[in-house]
Amino acid sequence: MSTTTVSQLDKVKDGPWNGGRSPWNLEYGKIMMWFFLVSDTFTFSAFLIVYGAQKFAQPTWIDADKVFQSIPGIAESGQPLVFVGIMTFILIMSSVTMVLAVDAGHRNKKNEVVKWMLWTILGGLCFIGCQAIEWSHLHHQGFWFGTTPATGLEGEAVAEALAPYFTKDIAYTAALQFANMFFTITGFHGLHVSIGILLNIIVLFKTLNNTFERSGSYLMVEKVGLYWHFVDLVWVFVFTFFYLI
């Protein structure tokens, strides 16, 4: 009787939650990257939800199709969504090259990892370049943090200056809130893209240095990849709420 009790206690527990290994079969750093991204989701959600709340609270709102209607170097006006479409395509494309880099890492193919990381970095740089063009175009029209084309004007001149950007009623506050939110949210996203490019470059150099080849695992490519896909994910939402709706 007592012997069976002892052997029950001595029996080594080997369930996933009994210690000695990761219950999720995931490496610590990768879990932490996921948890960081979940927290970042809340940051971006808060931004976009406040944008939505402003739209609900204002009696009128700016028409995005009239604010963004140029294709740099091709058309000055009349082409809404085309340029941002190109930007969206670039970011989705760079997300695909990132997965291909991760995939090459799983097969321990160093040269392929280098190739796909280079394409990913190039995609990121193209995107941030387009973003810079978009910002400077809007800035030249008179929009900036706390500024609209009608800032400093009074009376009828305000409506006149803002008329090109509205389809519904014209309001200074709506234009101002739109400008503030646009530059804050796309700016915060652009900061994420920039950090992502930096991380990708670091990982590229580590790959070239054979750091991952020596350790036998390209897990770091995967972790940076998670971050990069998240940046793409955020853009999907920014695109919908700023440009489509």
What pairs with residue 75 in β-bridges?
A: 71
Per CB under 8 A, the list member of 103, 133, 137, 147 interacting with other proteins is 103
Is residue 188 near other proteins by the rule CB under 8 A?
no
Stretch that binds other proteins, among 17-25, 125-133, 151-159, 194-202 (CB under 8 A): 17-25
What is the b/e burial string over 10-35, where b = at least 16 CB atoms within 10 angstroms of the residue's CB?
eeeeeeeeeeeeeeeeeeeebeebee
Using alpha carbons only, how large is the chain's radius of gyration in Å? 25
- Min dist. Cβ of residue 94 to other proteins (A): 11
Is residue 112 near other proteins by the rule CB under 8 A?
no
Helix%, strand%, coil% for the chain, nearest 5: 75, 0, 25
CB 243 within 8 A of CB 64: yes
3-state secondary structure of 64: helix
Is residue 210 near other proteins by the rule CB under 8 A?
no
3-state secondary structure of 71: strand
Per CB under 8 A, the list member of 95, 131, 186, 207 interacting with other proteins is 95
Does an H or E element contain 189, and which?
helix 172-208
Is residue 21 near other proteins by the rule CB under 8 A?
yes
Which residues, numbered 68-87, are part of the site for other proteins (CB under 8 A)?
80-82, 85
Is residue 105 near other proteins by the rule CB under 8 A?
yes
d(CA 245, CA 56): 13
What pairs with residue 144 in β-bridges?
A: 147
CB nearer to other proteins: pick between 11 and 107: 107
CB nearer to other proteins: pick between 102 and 162: 102
Per CB under 8 A, the list member of 32, 195, 198, 245 interacting with other proteins is 245
3-state secondary structure of 47: helix
Per CB under 8 A, the list member of 18, 32, 43, 49 interacting with other proteins is 49
**Contact footprint for other proteins (CB under 8 A):** 16, 20-28, 31, 34-35, 38, 41-42, 45-46, 49-50, 52-59, 65, 80-82, 85, 88-89, 92, 95-96, 98-100, 103, 105-108, 215-219, 225-226, 229-230, 232-233, 236-237, 240, 244-245
